[in-house]
Structure 1
Amino acid sequence: MKAIPVPAIAGLYLFQPTPHRDERGFFSRTFDAGVARSVGLDPDAFLQDSVSRSVRGVLRGLHLRSGAGEAKLVRCSFGEVFDVVVDLRPDSPTFRAVETFRLSGDTQVSIYIPAGCAHGFQALSDIADVSYRIDRVHNPDEDVTIAYNDPELAIPWPLTPTLLSERDKTAPSLAEVLPT
């Protein structure tokens, strides 16, 4: 497994495993504490693991946490998703940068998303499972949502969204959440 910095957003890393494939399928390490430490991440900081299952076209996001924020390690463990990270840290050299990825269960690539960045994804396969390692216990009072279709962000979602939560449908614009 190797950690690859993503220059478009400061502190964002791809963790690329080396799946071992044979006629049975594959075996892949999906987390390595030593590799995390090698890029300055504390592997013991992760406190919760969660998973979401979505069907094709479902869009989740853009979500982040207020206060101290929330760092997370995100991986599509089954299926395929179009994943989006937006840097909303005012003191970051990549403030307001948007980066997109295609994550899949075939590659098992993970993304480390620093606290203060918004995250969202859209399921591209019939079923997509996304796994999260989160560095803070979830507090719903700190949840912040930004409109997935905000024109300022101009995210190129690959599919017309088929299903959104009420929270995502009615999310405020980036300008409303983060006035300049």
Structure 2
Amino acid sequence: MRHDGDVRVENTELEDVLLFTPEPFRDGRGLFTRTFDAQIFDDAVARRACSGRPVRAADFVQDSQSRSVRGVIRGMHCRSGDGEAKLVRCARGAIYDVLVDVRRTSTTFGRKQAFRLDDVSFSHLFVPPGFLHGFQAITDCDVCYRIDRGHDPTEDLAVAYDDPSLRIEWPLPVSAVSPRDASAGSWEALLRCL
């Protein structure tokens, strides 16, 4: 763990995945917090020898936001080709965020890790290219994504959120999934595509 100004940067159990947690300034009016700092991001990534495609703050080209009701699952998604790096944070509410490493050359290939992201800790997760990503809304929530490539639907890949090979233990009963997520393929099918 390292403190960069008012942002704590932590390694995770998954190779190249970082958790950034700002330390808000609080007073009688409420709080103020940093949600992104390009220099802190670049310094943190540069200190680590990334096993995949390097990502710099200037590479982020799109910000997106989703709104979900409690119990919704979105995922498990990834991109083919050069993959997709993203910074994920929960701007309102709380989510159970899950990553699975699909990079065959990674020391953590096939491993998963879950994170709680919420509007209390303000943590945001750096997801490098080559990871399945999905989340369940623990509360009604808004999730923000900063992405390093424009969306190309022809590169979309997905694995069923309830695939028995992944053994993800979602914290709540599932209230809804998209038709795409409901018909997503298996872990074994994804491995044949990579």
Settle same-fold status: TM greater than 0.5: yes
Contact 1:2–1:35 (CA under 8 A) maintained in structure 2: no
Contact 1:3–1:14 (CA under 8 A) maintained in structure 2: yes
Q: Does residue 178 of structure 1 match 2:178?
A: no
Q: Name the counterpart of 1:21.
A: 26
TM-score, length basis structure 1: 0.95
Q: Residues 127-148 of structure 1, C-alpha deviation per residue, up to 9 Å, x if partnerless?
A: 2000000000111111111010
1:2 deviates by 2.4
- Aligned pairs, number: 178
Q: Name the counterpart of 1:154.
A: 167
Write out aligned runs for 1:127-138 (5 A): 127-138=140-151
Contact 1:78–1:104 (CA under 8 A) maintained in structure 2: yes
Write out the 4+ residue segments of structure 1 that deviate beyond 4 Å after TM superposition: none
1:3 deviates by 1.6
1:24 deviates by 2.7
Secondary structure at the counterpart of residue 81 of structure 2: coil
1:113 deviates by 0.3
1:170 deviates by 0.7
- The correspondence for 2:63, drawn from 49, 53, 56, is 49
Q: Name the counterpart of 1:108.
A: 122
Give % identity. Answer: 47
TM-score, length basis structure 2: 0.89
Secondary structure at the counterpart of residue 167 of structure 1: helix
Q: Residues 86-139 of structure 1, C-alpha deviation per residue, up to 9 Å, x if partnerless?
A: 0001111100110001110111100000101010000011x2000000000111
Q: Does residue 2 of structure 1 match 2:8?
A: yes
User: Residue type of the partner of 2:90?
Assistant: C
1:155 deviates by 0.7
Cα RMSD of the aligned pairs, angstroms, is 1.2
**Structure 2: segments with no counterpart, 5+ residues:** 1-6, 47-54
Secondary structure at the counterpart of residue 103 of structure 2: coil
Secondary structure at the counterpart of residue 141 of structure 1: helix
Q: Name the counterpart of 1:143.
A: 156
Q: Name the counterpart of 1:88.
A: 102
| Partner Cα separation in structure 2 for residue 82 and residue 21 of structure 1 | 26
1:25 deviates by 2.3
User: Residue type of the partner of 1:141?
Assistant: T
User: Residue type of the partner of 2:8?
Assistant: K
Tell me whether 23-32 or 63-72 shows the greater mean CA deviation: 23-32
Tell me whether 24-33 or 157-166 shows the greater mean CA deviation: 24-33
1:35 deviates by 1.1
1:176 deviates by 1.3
Q: Name the counterpart of 2:84.
A: 70
